[in-house]
Chain A
Amino acid sequence: MLETLLWIIRRDVTIALRRRTDIFTTLIFFVIVVSLFPLGIGPELDTLRLIAPGVVWVGALLASMLALEQLFLADHRDGTLEQMLLAPQPLSLLVIGKVIAHWLITGLPLVIMAPLLGLQYDLSLEALKVMIWSLLLGTPTLSLLGAIGAALTLGLRSGGVLVALLVLPLYIPVLIFGAGAVEATTSGLGGSSHLSMLGAILLLALLGTPFATSAALRVSAE
């Protein structure tokens, strides 16, 4: 079972590394969105510090959603999804593997990039640390939740827009606690309670979403 999981992760990461455009489009999108705000608002440090957590988190949300459509699409087109549905392995296991790979490809680069972007907003070192933690706990949840949307809209023509409508409302709790953690740190309250909530949401998503995604995949593959 574990070996299957590792192979799925390895497969998707290898493919992504061989065609790097997917990784870079998400990352560059994130960088551009987050960089636009300081340019638009001007060099008022107080305002920038205030909006930083929200902007970075909304950027991360949109960027991770951008990559969702690709999650199952290629597998659906070339028939490997069929083989996964027919595999004598729990489909949710294969789904978890795919989501982990998806996070490594699209989520992790965001986490690494975020502190650099935070500097544009004059965030303190403490706030940057909390931002990394909040993204590290929050972005996997985004991938897990997004997978449901990606599975449901598989094979639909305007899937991309529909994914956004389905998934963005589900992202709201992650956004609130993610941005909240950084805000609480800058205002001196400490972000640990927010981070605990993010961790709890992640655990819940990890338990529930693979089954929902599997069920959605079986329906979509018909």
Chain B
Amino acid sequence: MRGDRRLFEHLDFDLESGQFMYLRGHNGSGKTTLLRTLAGLLRQEEGEILWDDTPIHRIRDSYHEELMYLGHLNALKGDLNAIENLRIDSAVRGQHLDEAAAWQLLTDIGLRGHEDLPTKYLSQGQKRRVALARLWINRSALWILDEPFSALDATSVDVLQAIIRQHLARGGMAIVTTHQEVDLTSGEVCCVVLGARDA
């Protein structure tokens, strides 16, 4: 429910270790709303979201320990550079990322040489890459990614796909909205389409 509009009903799915879920639907069908609800940012009007058979709002902190959510917004501070952003982001999640590890991470995502620039001067795609760099060091079980491929160039798309594959191979789960085909060799895939009755 958003305002007084019913976005989806009779929605029922479960996701198991190693599974990948596509969330599809046309613009405005409620993909982001569903993802935010799954992450616990919104409360659903009816029904329940269970994690290990427990409603997520009852085990909020331990659920969030297992969750990595990346929304439309990159959650970067424009006045800080990429390294500061990454280190602070880990600290907020309660993990320690030392300077050397942050440097290594920046090299991995191919942004070495831009480390002194405040992120507001980076291009849209570069910002997205910094935001996605969190996935490299993240060991949460469930990744919820809202349009992760937007603004990325072809190479970065390949790299991100590889990261998602690795995550699934480790037994992780991922829920992703995208208009793009993700070519995944391993892992089970399921697909939920929103707003199908209008189509």
Contacts and interface: CB of A to CB of B under 8 A. Distances in A.
**A and B together in one complex:** yes
Interface of A: 1, 3-4, 7-8, 10-11, 14-15, 18-19, 77-80, 82-90, 94, 221-222
Give the 4 A-B residue pairs with the shortest CB-CB distance, closest first.
A79-B73, A7-B91, A79-B75, A88-B65
Given A11-B80, A14-B80, A86 B87 contact: no
A83 B89 contact: yes
B89 A88 contact: no
Nearest to A90: B61
Contacts of A11: 77, 80, 84, 88
B175 interface: no
B46 to A, nearest CB: 16
B135 to A, nearest CB: 13
Binding site secondary structure of chain B: loop
A87 B92 contact: yes
B92 A89 contact: yes
Given A85-B41, A88-B65, A78 B91 contact: no
Instruction: Tell me the dominant secondary structure on chain A's binding face.
Output: helix
Given A78-B75, A87-B64, A89-B94, A15 B80 contact: yes
Considering residues A19, A80, A88, which has the most beta carbons from chain B within 10 angstroms of its beta carbon? A88
B43 A88 contact: no
Contacts of A14: 79-80, 84
Nearest to B131: A79
A98 B43 CA distance: 25
B112 interface: no
A82 B94 contact: no
A29 to B, nearest CB: 22
Given A8-B92, A18-B79, A78-B78, A86 B73 contact: no
Contact of B41 (A4, A18, A82): A82
Interface of B: 39-43, 61-62, 64-65, 67, 69, 71-80, 84, 87-89, 91-94, 96, 118
23 contacts: A3-B91, A4-B92, A7-B88, A8-B91, A11-B80, A15-B80, A18-B79, A18-B80, A78-B75, A79-B75, A80-B75, A82-B69, A83-B75, A83-B92, A83-B93, A86-B41, A86-B64, A87-B93, A88-B62, A88-B64, A88-B93, A89-B94, A222-B43
Nearest to A97: B92
Given A7-B87, A14-B84, A80-B77, A87 B41 contact: no
Contacts of A83: 69, 75, 89, 92-93
Contacts of A78: 73-78
A3 B92 CA distance: 9
A163 to B, nearest CB: 23
Nearest to B64: A88
Residue of A7, A77, A86, A90 most packed against chain B (CB within 10 A)? A86
A85 B57 CA distance: 13
A124 B65 CA distance: 56
A132 to B, nearest CB: 31
A112 B13 CA distance: 59
A10 B85 CA distance: 12
A15 B92 contact: no
B90 to A, nearest CB: 9
A84 B41 CA distance: 11
A15 B80 CA distance: 7
Nearest to A3: B91
B92 A84 contact: yes
Contacts of B80: 11, 14-15, 18
Nearest to B120: A78
Most buried by A among B65, B74, B76, B94: B94
Nearest to B78: A78
